[in-house]
Structure formats: C-alpha cells, structure tokens
Amino acid sequence: MTISLILLGVTAVALIYIIGLYNRLVSLKHAVAKTWANIDVLLKQRHDELPKLVEVCKQYKQFEQSTLQQVIEARSQVQAARESQNIPALGQAEGALRMGLGSIFAVAEAYPELKTSEQFMQLQTRISGLENGIADRRELYNESVNIYNVGIEQFPAALVANMFNFTPKPLLEFAAAEKTDADIKALFS
C-alpha cells in the first residue's frame, strides 16, 4: 500500500512538473508571437506611409525615379515577407528598404523645395520614428526568440518540447549591407 502511494505521489509530482514545463514553453511561444505581432503593426504603419512619401517626391518632376522605384520594390518585398511571416526574407527586404529610404532622404537634400515641404518633413519624421520603433521591436523579438529557443533545448524541457513538437524559431537577421557604414559620398553623388 505504501509503495503504491509513493509511486502515485512520484507520478503526480512528475506529471505536475511536465505540465509546468509545457505551460512555460507555451508561454514562451506566445511571447515570440506577441513580439512578432508588435513588429507587424509597425511594419504595416510604415507600409501605409511609404506611398505618401513617394507621392510627395513624385511631385518634384526631376526627383530621381530610380530611387523611388527602389523603395517601391523593396516595400513590396517587405510586404510579401511580412504576410508569409518569412523571417529570413523579411530581414533581407528590410535591409533593401532601409537603404532605399536612406537614399530618398539623402537625395532630398538636393531639392530645397522638397526639403522645406511641410508634408515631406512630417512624413520623414513619421517614417524615421517608425524605423526607430521597428529597430527596438526587432531587438525585443530576437530576445524573445532566443529565450524560446534556449527553453526548448534545455534538459528536461527538451523532452517535453520534442514530445509536443515545439520547433525553433528563426532570428530576424539583417542583410550584410545594413550592418556596414553608409557610403555618404555615394549617396550625394
């Protein structure tokens, strides 16, 4: 009788421990999803602002169309990666979009009328603010992913993670070009 009670007690403790591990992994998985959703909101807001910026720039007929085209194409790539939640593709598309925005803001220096346009200045400030917010959220996302990935690899949680098919999440990494210093001279030539 006492052996049965001991086995029952050990089984109950083990079951409670496994349930606790499972719930912790679920919590970590949802933290990753929440941080992704926060990034997604800012990406959507920026996605909505970019056509306004391009349109303001188009009003200045001589504004460089290739620069605008680069931003439009990169915006489409970011949107496609965002909708499919393809994190590696999003990282690359983000790099291209950030370079395109940098080019627009640099080229705008050569257009005094554009630089003094209140609408352009408001959009530039708004997009710059969104860029900063996205950078902050990307850092938080990568931290959440790291905690989750470590959590599913640690023993004994790895046993529960494998049992319930918790899989690693990719980090949001940046294109090599985004990590290098900007070539300011090239932007103004």
- Domains of the chain listed by start with CATH number: 14-188 (1.20.1440.20)
Peptide bond into 112 cis (omega under 30): no
pLDDT tens for 67-118 read 788 888 888 888 888 888 888 888 888 888 888 888 888 877 777 777 777 8
Over range 7-29, report the average pLDDT: 93
- Say what the pLDDT of residue 135 is: 87
Whether the per-residue pLDDT at 54 is higher than 70: the answer is yes
How far, in whole angstroms, is CA 70 from its chain's centroid? 20
pLDDT tens for 25-36 read 999 999 999 999
* pTM exceeds 0.85, yes or no: no
How far, in whole angstroms, is CA 149 from its chain's centroid? 17
